[in-house]
Structure 1
């Protein structure tokens, strides 16, 4: 049986032959997460704008009547007396089918543009273009040039639907031509892979690069190590490979004198002991701070295509905050702000936060994210800058304190709040939340909530889910600080 490859299938095969085989033979096992689907949706929106601004007046090649009709329509339009630009032009040659985002016919040949929602050209974009060149050139059509259109992160949206300048185009013709021998060989290997049995491929870095594999659960070893070497924080790939060659699979296998990094040795030592380690100092650092204490968390929207005048692509724009206020030891109340109107939320976000946090008392956060957002708001609203800077000056980042003083074997080399919390406060559990359990899902919920097509009933549900998630983040911060200063057994 002959399998027709697409450019996406070839890219999957380059990443991992097992992924390619499963995509073709077992598509029923595909499990794309919500962030992957959101990235796809964003790509469609960027693609539509690229067509309008880079090749206006073109013709879209649809798939309503199947790939055969799309191939025929593409050929007829390109061979007509007055060919026009094509969107999703479809070509097939030697068992490989591709759809090109934008194809502009010129007197000297076809100009092929691949549209991406990233802000720079990646290596896999070149592979993508190289597959298109292989197919189109193989059909005997002259390709004048290939280019990748990416988002210009410096673009500031002026409003009124004017997106001129959103996309930046880079010529990649020379790089694509140099890749042709490799692309031909990879294509042959992909076709061979599909003709055989499922390949045996061990999990590794390729499972997440350049994209997270949708079959990761299938490939996870049933009897793998309890504490794999990858749990050593920020370990370099060459060191991982060296340990594997020496027969080490589990962190506990590594001899005491083999790790040069103090953080690696600490993880190994605590993992071997099986007991959490809380070093002295956290209690004196946190416990001496005055009341009232504020525990703060933000959620932001990060849009590839900005919708509010004066904002940039992928700028993190805050729409929600949660704050647990501890007025005295054990006396805690909760405040929050959320704006799902679809109008710019940033100014009211800042004003309400200033009012909620008062003028004194430490503001606990986890990592530097909130401070960075506050500084951006200072630049956005100069009249509020002094007040916002006052909040920044009061911030106490709990993450480096936890990293210095605490480690539990079940953290598996991570100090994220979602790995620390089950160890310090196992009674709190994000998995019990409905709909929104992480920051990516919060962004997706926001995008759905402000969509004009979302019903009022669904919008209320999304608001409840977002409120519960952000509130959990700040309650988690309360519990972590309590545990570190000794108000709760670690």
Structure 2
């Protein structure tokens, strides 16, 4: 028998479907993926309070024949809200997050820890609906319940405000006809030897596969991996340069100059008061200041403790650092992210509006130079800092750092509070080093252009 999760896995990759049944020991989940699962479980528990007072159909930890019998019993007893309602039909078993009666008719709700409905959620709803209706229950509507991105936490989480839901009844109709054929095909996979499926885009979409490490070790994938590794690197010679545009940028934004970079974390269920689902919460910044082309840069930095809301302390220190000189020079950023974060600070902490608006007015995007005025073969399609740097500053490399990507910084920060004192000090050092290199690199790019 298939489960809903295995059906959806089969849609993604039949090899992953087979491995999930016969080689489950090959599963590998990153710490970030485990945190996503944990958040999903928490969201599911919170969502039950949206239709509170219901009964749980699960008898053990997993949906099984006992849960099916318990679901039938609850329906027969006239229960109007059932959590983890479990049904089986057409060789497939599903457990619905919430089955709730509205005006005497059953409505199905599947909970997702996202801010919107995604297409994979619609296919999820389709298999749920197919099994439930074939099991003999009439479903009036089926919806995806997700976070309301307009919800602002104030005190304890209010599930009735945190969640909203959207019917996908119409959208799922196109997926229903294919389901019987898919079920038959997926069950047939279980009767065969391990299928050969080469690695590709499906390994990452719509989510990263937990069997990626296993598949990358297989002989049939070595040639693909070697081709990826040996792809010729795009050239770093300048193929286009608008001298006038560069000079105008430098004339309008002279020394003294600052360079600013934020690192931020997102929490689906808002972690702090006055924050929203998946709002970017800056927890760290690096700031460089240089008086003139011949001066040594000065450096300032901030990093939260991983427990308390870092934003107000960050704002206070940032204002202080940016006003420590009388010259009030322009502030380099790379893209518009820092400006967006300052706009959010003003919304969430209006008492600092005057100072923050003044800082916003000083922001300038160095990225515009590499988007519009200077291009290499490598930077024609992307102007990310890590691609631009090898052209102008090959000696500055993230490869020597313990943390080499912004997302890695976020993951370290989210686990910061659980580290031992020694681990925490090491993590703090690595996080500060990564962010410091970002702002130093942007400042050095500016200096390179200037010189």
Common fold: TM-score over 0.5: yes
Match of residue 410, structure 2, among 425, 440, 443: 443
**Residue in structure 2 matched with residue 49 of structure 1 by the alignment:** 46
Give the conservation status (yes or no) of the 8 Å contact 2:258–2:290.
Answer: yes
**In the TM superposition, what whole-angstrom CA distance separates every residue of 1:346-404 from its partner, at most 9, and x where no partner exists?**
22222211211125112111110001111222233333223222222222212121233
Match of residue 5, structure 2, among 8, 13, 26: 8
Cα shift at 1:16: 3.6
Cα shift at 1:126: 1.5
Match of residue 365, structure 1, among 323, 327, 333: 333
Match of residue 279, structure 1, among 227, 230, 241: 241
1:18-29 mapped onto 2 (5 Å cutoff): 18-29=15-26
Cα shift at 1:67: 5.1
Q: Secondary structure at the match of 1:307?
A: coil
**Residue in structure 1 matched with residue 441 of structure 2 by the alignment:** 476
**Deviates most, 124-133 or 206-215:** 206-215
**In the TM superposition, what whole-angstrom CA distance separates every residue of 1:201-226 from its partner, at most 9, and x where no partner exists?**
56665444322344567357145377
* Inter-partner Cα distance in structure 2 for 1:280 and 1:162: 54
1:51-450 mapped onto 2 (5 Å cutoff): 51-59=48-56, 61=58, 63-64=60-61, 68=64, 70-71=66-67, 74-75=70-71, 77-78=73-74, 81=77, 83=79, 85-104=81-100, 110-196=106-192, 205-214=201-210, 218=216, 221-224=224-227, 271=234, 275-277=237-239, 279-281=241-243, 284-285=247-248, 288=251, 289-328=253-292, 329-340=294-305, 342-358=307-323, 360-409=328-377, 413-434=381-402, 436-449=403-416
Cα shift at 1:89: 3.5
**Residue in structure 1 matched with residue 36 of structure 2 by the alignment:** 39
**Deviates most, 76-85 or 469-478:** 76-85
* Inter-partner Cα distance in structure 2 for 1:214 and 1:58: 33
**Deviates most, 110-119 or 285-294:** 285-294
* Inter-partner Cα distance in structure 1 for 2:22 and 2:441: 43
| Aligned-residue RMSD, C-alpha | 3.4
Q: Secondary structure at the match of 1:301?
A: strand
**In the TM superposition, what whole-angstrom CA distance separates every residue of 1:118-139 from its partner, at most 9, and x where no partner exists?**
1222221121111112222333
* Inter-partner Cα distance in structure 2 for 1:335 and 1:79: 63
Q: Cα distance 1:344–1:15, how it changes in 2: closer, same or farther (>3 A)?
A: same
* Inter-partner Cα distance in structure 1 for 2:5 and 2:110: 13
* Inter-partner Cα distance in structure 2 for 1:323 and 1:60: 54
Give the conservation status (yes or no) of the 8 Å contact 1:286–1:485.
Answer: no
Cα shift at 1:467: 1.9
Q: Secondary structure at the match of 1:54?
A: coil
**Deviates most, 282-291 or 179-188:** 282-291
* Inter-partner Cα distance in structure 2 for 1:379 and 1:107: 40
Cα shift at 1:410: 5.4
* Inter-partner Cα distance in structure 2 for 1:51 and 1:383: 37
Q: Cα distance 1:472–1:33, how it changes in 2: closer, same or farther (>3 A)?
A: farther
Q: Secondary structure at the match of 1:430?
A: coil
* Inter-partner Cα distance in structure 2 for 1:169 and 1:357: 43
Q: Cα distance 1:50–1:390, how it changes in 2: closer, same or farther (>3 A)?
A: same
Q: Cα distance 1:205–1:62, how it changes in 2: closer, same or farther (>3 A)?
A: same
* Inter-partner Cα distance in structure 2 for 1:287 and 1:105: 65
* Inter-partner Cα distance in structure 1 for 2:349 and 2:383: 33
**Deviates most, 368-377 or 89-98:** 89-98
Q: Cα distance 1:61–1:432, how it changes in 2: closer, same or farther (>3 A)?
A: farther
**Residue in structure 2 matched with residue 254 of structure 1 by the alignment:** none
Give the conservation status (yes or no) of the 8 Å contact 2:257–2:331.
Answer: yes
**In the TM superposition, what whole-angstrom CA distance separates every residue of 1:206-265 from its partner, at most 9, and x where no partner exists?**
44432234456735714537797xxxxxxxxxxxxxxxxxxxxx9xxxxxxxxxxxxxxx
Give the conservation status (yes or no) of the 8 Å contact 1:127–1:183.
Answer: no
Count of residue correspondences: 438
